[in-house]
Amino acid sequence: MKRKEWEERIVKRTLEKNKERKEDFKATSLPVQRLYDPEDVRDLDYERDLGYPGAFPFTRGVQPTMYRGRFWTMRQYAGFGSAEESNRRYRYLLEQGQTGLSVAFDLPTQIGLDSDNVLCEGEVGKVGVAVDTLADMELLFAEIPLDKVSVSMTINASAAVILAMYLAVAEKRGIPLEQLSGTIQNDLLKEYIARGTYIYPPKPSLRVIADIFSFCRERVPKWNTISISGYHIREAGSTAVQELAFTFADAVEYVKSALASGLKVDEFAPRLSFFFASHNNLLEEVAKFRAARRIWARIMKEKFAAGEKSQLMRFHTQTGGVTLTAQQPTNNVVRVTLQALAAVLGGTQSLHTNSMDEALALPTEESVRVALRTQQIIAYESGVADTVDPLAGSYYVEAMTSEIERGVWKYLDKIEEMGGMLAAIEAGYPQKQIQDSSYSYQKEIDGLEQVIVGVNQFQVEEDLSHLKTLKVSPEGEELQKQRLARTRKERDNAAVQKALARVKETAAADGNLMPPILEAVKAYASLQEICDQMRAVFGEYKEKIVI
Q: Does the pLDDT of residue 143 top 80, yes or no?
A: yes
Q: Does the pLDDT of residue 547 top 80, yes or no?
A: no
Torsion of CA 253, 255, 259, 265, to 10 degrees: -160
Strand ranges of the sheet holding 73-74, from the earlier edge strand across to the other edge: 73-74, 350-352, 315-319, 272-278, 226-229
Coil, strand or helix at 453? strand
**What is the DSSP code (8-state) at residue 167?**
H
DSSP assignment of 226-271 equals: EEEESHHHHHTT--HHHHHHHHHHHHHHHHHHHHHTT--HHHHGGG
**Is residue 56 in some structural domain?**
yes
The CA-atom distances, in angstroms, between 416 and each of 88, 245, 261, 342 are: 47, 11, 21, 31
The residues with which 272 forms a beta bridge, in sequence order, are 226
What is the end-to-end Cα distance of the chain in Å, rounded?
A: 53
**Is residue 445 in some structural domain?**
no
The residues with which 184 forms a beta bridge, in sequence order, are 153
Count of all residues that appear for the chain in the document: 547
Helices 514-522 and 527-538 sit at what angle, rounded to 10 degrees?
A: 150
**Is residue 106 in some structural domain?**
yes
Average pLDDT over residues 14-26: 90
Question: CB neighbours of 197 closer than 8 A, spacing ≥ 6?
Answer: 107, 110, 111, 156, 157, 191
The CA-atom distances, in angstroms, between 316 and each of 128, 347, 447 are: 19, 10, 34
Domain limits for position 351: 40-322+331-426
412-425 per-position pLDDT tens digit: 999 999 999 999 99
**Is residue 265 in some structural domain?**
yes
**What is the DSSP code (8-state) at residue 31?**
B
Contact between residue 170 and residue 140 where contact means Cβ atoms under 8 Å apart: no
Q: pLDDT higher for 296 or 361?
A: 296
**CATH number of the domain encompassing residue 301:** 3.20.20.240
Q: Does the pLDDT of residue 226 top 80, yes or no?
A: yes
Contact between residue 157 and residue 111 where contact means Cβ atoms under 8 Å apart: yes
What confidence category does residue 83 fall into, taking pLDDT thresholds of 50, 70 and 90? Answer: very high
**Is residue 114 in some structural domain?**
yes
The share of the chain scoring above pLDDT 90, in percent, equals: 93
SS (H, E, C) 87-114: HHHHHHHHHCCCCEEEEEECHHHHCCCC
**Is residue 486 in some structural domain?**
no
Helices 202-219 and 527-538 sit at what angle, rounded to 10 degrees?
A: 130
41-73 per-position pLDDT tens digit: 999 999 999 999 999 999 999 999 999 999 999
**Is residue 350 in some structural domain?**
yes
Q: How many domains does the chain have?
A: 1
**Is residue 523 in some structural domain?**
no
User: What pTM was estimated for this model as a whole?
Assistant: 0.95
Coil, strand or helix at 9? helix
Q: Does the pLDDT of residue 546 top 80, yes or no?
A: no
Contact between residue 222 and residue 179 where contact means Cβ atoms under 8 Å apart: yes
